[in-house]
Structure 1
């Protein structure tokens, strides 16, 4: 959020609003690389005496080393939020680049981009099932409780994206300007695993195969289970056969479409004549306020390679997961094979095709220029993905983003309601020259207020800015018969 609404966001602004590729402040912008990591949940808060970042990187104080490798729910580092409501978790990352934006003229701009997106999530999950996912079965207080009418959807998604964006100024009516943009995306899936529980009943019981341990008895499970084999990930490569052929587990197309309106009451300050044409100063932000709206990530990935794709409907009763069920497990395919065997899913029910949707969303933003270099933006993202869909999703959020920006430096502080408008956060982002770094959840990064999420991003680019008006005293000779060579001999 700290970068995407900026007039100097380059290709990062185009991901939110494709119309921003037109009338950019850049003549050419090359994103070398950018990375983003995030986690948000309504199930638990982080209560450890150190940050989540230190835990993930293994840089925890020595007295807590004994907790490494244990379930987070049993370390005491997390505090449950029990309120009887359905739970959710979104965790993942994104790598962007290379990507480039090119201004073709005062009216037209294009961008080409690439990125890898991965998300692990569960949504619409019954609290009892979410507790099981957090703690495991080795909690005595959970034993013997029959949990009925359980439901939930869990997804692991990973895909690569190549995209082309075209944008244009549709109307320049002096003080009112309309821009539009369209992005076409080629998405190639390199991994997917999902499980949906429509109706389930389970309880924790004594493990009949191992003294002193507990097992999970599944009395009922109706839903579906699908996955790609690990070979799907191993085949990933930047080759025509993988991007457009049949080597990948699946592929598909996606689209972004958006428009931007700018109100420019002082347009005369930015208007000049050059080579006989009336132009606007491309180095300046000319609006008093700007409103943008876009539909992004419309489309999906169709996984249909019969060598790599497996899909099963599930309707089973009286199954048990014991201490020995997943021993030994060394790779993802082992887990999938054990689940298929445990649930006794017949090969005759197996299909080799399913669709995984992109994280479709509506993005709306407004930006107001309070004074020179000082702006206040509003960002709204509304997810369009059903909670039970086999799809990656972007949690809905609303943010106010004050910022100070100039050509070579910028600072912003997003104030937001994230994670479906339930998690208040404050962020901080800095851009200096060709690099930027920031977080949309400063509390999660530095461990303030028992956070239930965290976020961190950074990137580097090569920016080439657009040229301003030339010397107004330069002579100009309009085109005439005879072309260049005849004009060359004219007296200056």
Structure 2
């Protein structure tokens, strides 16, 4: 049987974990615009832009503590179609072998993370002499989590039921937790300068977010015993005998995803599978010992701070992001079931053609003799609540160093979208039209080390927080890539004072005198 068969049986484990990525290479920049608001909404005020328009941006992320990538070519080679000819078939297709993955077998629980963040049209506008700002943002976020997986179950998910090393063995007290979410987010950010005492500068910000849930699959497999058995009449087919099954699984129906729209009823009403409100809160302090050097002359008003220049020697930022929950409460689209069985069987014939999520769900329900439509049930999913603290040091000229700590605040409840805690240091070269940075981070909840590289050139930014994963250096256990396209409009220079103008007859009188 295929990997999909067992992934379905153990609770619709059709996905691996995901999370929202931090864009470490660009989010701390003074030219990050709306991208900085997702880390701290206080960055809206005193922006280097009069108007910042984000056109599109996206990132993808993958990390795990079970499988290493040991292929002779890199993920970058796959993405750019530059894999050498010797690793291709006669038809030019890239050869994909099982030995390109290396297991880490140490008896510990396994987890995998994969997901992304599609950043849509957004804008940030500064007004009232750059002391106030308003931001409007849109995102599509897909966050998935497969955690607390016993090693034996992880191997079955990896190899499928047709692996002979896993057949005819009793697997006891198996566990796994899955939570997969896709949701839309629309935010409004307000930022303001609340204190400006020459050397000391303070600003605050808040974001209110409308959340619209469009997709969810979750499962909690608890202390389950099973055995993979080969059919006696056909050795190419297997089935699973579950001797003890204790689980909860739920999902949104296919119609919830198919009915995605941009109507007010869908975004703010009851037409979606779920919806709620969320918030981000932030504060930023800047120490400006040489504030007098960053002023400009303004006709009739004398001098004022130059909005086009960074003025701090160091900057300290703190924020709490993703406060709130997704409420999947539209019973037309939500289903959740508790299952407790002493014995059950899952056959090859039932799952052989289950190659889509709706078919997989139907196969599970038939195998368990369950009709979820009889008693629809709502459920809630916690947003990836996190706290972050950042310290940005201006060394000299265009050179900066940033340190950031992001700590997830959600517990171990599998129904929450678990944020990924990270600690990173990022040196960067920053100018108005060009920026290069190289973050070094402890990611995956401080379990692994990664080196990244990012660049901003004109209206384009591109980067990775996991350079070695993208280019296959060493034996990476993750990869990450993000990009953005934007339109920056900077603050204008003050107009010069209007010179005195004399009508022609006054000029003539002057000459006669």
**TM-score, normalised on structure 1?**
0.90
| Per-residue deviation, 1:31 | 0.3
SS at structure 1 position matched to 2:350: coil
1:310 to 335, 345, 352: 335
2:305 aligned partner: 280
Residues 244-268 of structure 1 deviation map (CA, whole Å, 9 limit, x = unaligned): 1121111111110111111111112
2:269 to 238, 245, 252: 245
2:450 aligned partner: 425
Q: How many residues align?
A: 473
Residues 28-58 of structure 1 deviation map (CA, whole Å, 9 limit, x = unaligned): 0000001111111111100111123445788
Q: Give me the whole-angstrom Cα distance separating, in 2, the residues matched to 1:461 and 1:386.
A: 36
Q: CA RMSD in A?
A: 2.5
2:377 aligned partner: 352
1:321 aligned partner: 346
**Does residue 378 of the first structure (1) align with residue 430 of the second (2)?**
no
Q: Give me the whole-angstrom Cα distance separating, in 2, the residues matched to 1:57 and 1:222.
A: 45
2:125 to 91, 102, 115: 102
| Per-residue deviation, 1:155 | 1.8
**Does residue 463 of the first structure (1) align with residue 504 of the second (2)?**
no
Q: Give me the whole-angstrom Cα distance separating, in 1, the residues matched to 2:278 and 2:240.
A: 40
| Per-residue deviation, 1:327 | 2.2
Q: Give me the whole-angstrom Cα distance separating, in 2, the residues matched to 1:341 and 1:56.
A: 39
Q: Give me the whole-angstrom Cα distance separating, in 2, the residues matched to 1:152 and 1:330.
A: 22
**Does residue 83 of the first structure (1) align with residue 98 of the second (2)?**
no
1:34 to 50, 53, 57: 57
| Per-residue deviation, 1:111 | 0.3
1:198 aligned partner: 222
1:176 to 188, 196, 200: 200
Contact (CA 8 Å) 1:365, 1:380: kept in 2 or not? yes
Matches within 5 A, 1:382-421: 382-421=407-446
Q: Give me the whole-angstrom Cα distance separating, in 2, the residues matched to 1:65 and 1:231.
A: 39
SS at structure 2 position matched to 1:286: coil
Q: Give me the whole-angstrom Cα distance separating, in 2, the residues matched to 1:442 and 1:192.
A: 31
SS at structure 1 position matched to 2:112: strand
Residues 139-196 of structure 1 deviation map (CA, whole Å, 9 limit, x = unaligned): 1112233222222211221011111000111111111111111001111111110111
Cα 1:143–1:251, aligned 2, differ >3 Å: closer, same or farther?
A: same
Contact (CA 8 Å) 2:41, 2:189: kept in 1 or not? yes
Which region of structure 1 is more displaced relative to structure 2, 218-227 or 369-378? 218-227
Contact (CA 8 Å) 2:179, 2:414: kept in 1 or not? no
**Does residue 4 of the first structure (1) align with residue 27 of the second (2)?**
yes
Cα 1:264–1:220, aligned 2, differ >3 Å: closer, same or farther?
A: same
Structure 1, gaps ≥5 residues long: 477-492
Q: Give me the whole-angstrom Cα distance separating, in 2, the residues matched to 1:210 and 1:242.
A: 50
Contact (CA 8 Å) 1:283, 1:468: kept in 2 or not? no
1:483 aligned partner: none
SS at structure 2 position matched to 1:325: helix
Contact (CA 8 Å) 1:319, 1:343: kept in 2 or not? yes
Contact (CA 8 Å) 1:226, 1:310: kept in 2 or not? yes
Which region of structure 1 is more displaced relative to structure 2, 334-343 or 445-454? 334-343
Q: Give me the whole-angstrom Cα distance separating, in 2, the residues matched to 1:209 and 1:390.
A: 42
Contact (CA 8 Å) 1:163, 1:185: kept in 2 or not? yes
1:212 to 207, 228, 236: 236
Structure 2, gaps ≥5 residues long: 1-23, 500-513
**TM-score, normalised on structure 2?**
0.87
1:221 to 245, 248, 251: 245
| Per-residue deviation, 1:70 | 13
